Amino acid sequence: MLALEIGGRRWEPDIRRLSDMRELLCDTEWASSAEDIDLYYMYRDLYLSRADRSSLIEHNLRYDITIIPPRMLGREYVKTAGHYHPKVPGTDVTYPEIYEVLEGDALYLLQNEDASSVVCIAASEGDKVVIPPGYGHITINRSNRRLKMANFVCRSFSSIYGPYRDLRGGAYYCTKEGFVKNPRYRDPAPIKWVDAPDDDMLRRFGFSRTREIYSALREPRSLEFLTKPQDHLSLFDGILE
């Protein structure tokens, strides 16, 4: 039932459950007593063909799909756990990521590690959202529809979840009453709302709203900004403005 069929293969997900997320939620009273349930499904390292698989490995890339069904977690909308990316070895630049909304609507809540910059991007089907170096991110589904999204990321690192867990979530929680500040953050910046990148901005990265990101595997060198961001820093100028 949970398997996803891609390229003639069936892929089973890694499942994020409530028991993995209780300490990250706004509504702690609800979280402490709620029955353990599935929250979202992560299908990692996908490919359509053996040639694509070889290309992904050769260029140090990974393609994933995540599905987040609509759900309330007490008074808070369902969300991902949130994570940061490590620095590229030998540099002070962290790995970026690109997301694409395939179905539904998403809120991407980005923050740098001291929450002196907090950005929210609303995205709908066809939108692409770039997570630039220096930012962690949470994805929120506040709609009543399933959210399905894809991403490309460098395959040679592990995400960093600790800072979000230490502070019991991001700087803000998205609730039925709106965004609520997480009291464990001393003085987070106000949320800055930013539009999803338009076609002019996406062209910098070789993408458009009308073409799925997976097609970039035809020219995988165009995705080098994900694996060697230190060589492409100018691409990220203004991406969160």
List the pLDDT tens digit at each of the 241 positions of the chain. 589 999 999 999 999 999 999 999 999 999 999 999 999 999 999 999 999 999 999 999 999 999 999 999 999 999 999 999 999 999 999 999 999 999 999 999 999 999 999 999 999 999 999 999 999 999 999 999 999 999 999 999 999 999 999 999 999 999 999 999 999 999 999 999 999 999 999 999 999 999 999 999 999 999 999 999 999 999 999 999 9
Q: What DSSP state is assigned to residue 238?
A: T
Task: For residue 19, give the 3-state DSSP assignment.
Answer: helix
State pTM to two decimals: 0.96
Domain spans of the chain, in order of start: 4-236
In angstroms, the CA 55 to CA 50 distance is 9
Residues 226, 152 contacting (CB under 8 angstroms): yes
CA distances from 58 to 63, 97, 215 (A): 13, 18, 16
SS (H, E, C) 160-209: ECHHHHHCCCCCEEEECCEEEECCCCCCCCCEEEEECCCHHHHHHCCCEC
Out of 3.40.50.2000, 3.40.50.1220, 3.40.50.720, 2.60.120.10, select the CATH number for domain 4-236.
Answer: 2.60.120.10
Residues 184, 171 contacting (CB under 8 angstroms): no
Angle ∠(53,56,62) on CA atoms, nearest 5: 105
